[in-house]
Chains A and B, each alone.
Chain A
Amino acid sequence: DIQMTQSPSSLSASVGDRVTITCRASQSISTYSNWYQQKPGKAPKLLIYAASSLQSGVPSRFGGSGSGTDFTLTISSLQPEDFATYYCQQSFSPPYTFGQGTSLEI
Chain B
Amino acid sequence: QLQLQESGPGLVKPSETLSLTCTVSGGSITTSTYYWAWIRQPPGRGLEWIGDIYYNGRTYDNPSLKSRVTLSVDTSKSQFSLKLNFVTAADTAVYYCAKRSLMVRGIMKEYVFDQWGQGTLVTVSS
CB distance from B9 to the nearest CB of A (A): 20
A46 to chain B, nearest CB (A): 5
**Contact between A95 and B46 (Cβ–Cβ < 8 Å)?**
no
Residue in chain A with minimal CB distance to B119: A43
Please, how many residues of chain A have a CB less than 8 angstroms from a CB on the other chain?
Answer: 25
Is A71's CB within 8 Å of the partner chain B? no
Chain B residues within an 8 Å CB radius of A44: 47, 96, 113, 116
Query: Does A31 contact B108, Cβ atoms closer than 8 Å?
Result: yes
Interface residues on chain B, size class: 20 to 34
Asked if B62 is at the interface (CB within 8 A of a chain A CB), the reply is: yes
Q: Is the CB of B103 within 8 A of A50?
A: yes
Please measure, in the bound complex, the distance between the C-alpha atom of A102 and the C-alpha atom of B114, giving whole angstroms.
Answer: 20
A53-B105, A100-B46 given; A94·B62 CB < 8 A: yes
Check A65 for interface membership: any CB of B closer than 8 A: no
Give A43 to B101 CA distance when docked, in angstroms. 17
**Distance, CA A5 to CA B83, complexed state (A):** 30
A-side binding surface: helix, strand, loop or mixed?
loop
Q: Known contacts A49-B103, A50-B103, A53-B105: does B49 contact A97 (CB below 8 Å)?
A: yes
8 Å CB contacts to A: which residues of B102-126? 103, 105, 108, 110-114, 116-119
Minimal Cβ-Cβ distance residue in B for A34: B112
Nearest A residue to B96 by beta-carbon distance?
Answer: A43
Confirm or deny: A69 has a beta carbon within 8 angstroms of a beta carbon on chain B: no
B interface list, Cβ under 8 A from A:
46-49, 60, 62-64, 96, 98, 103, 105, 108, 110-114, 116-119
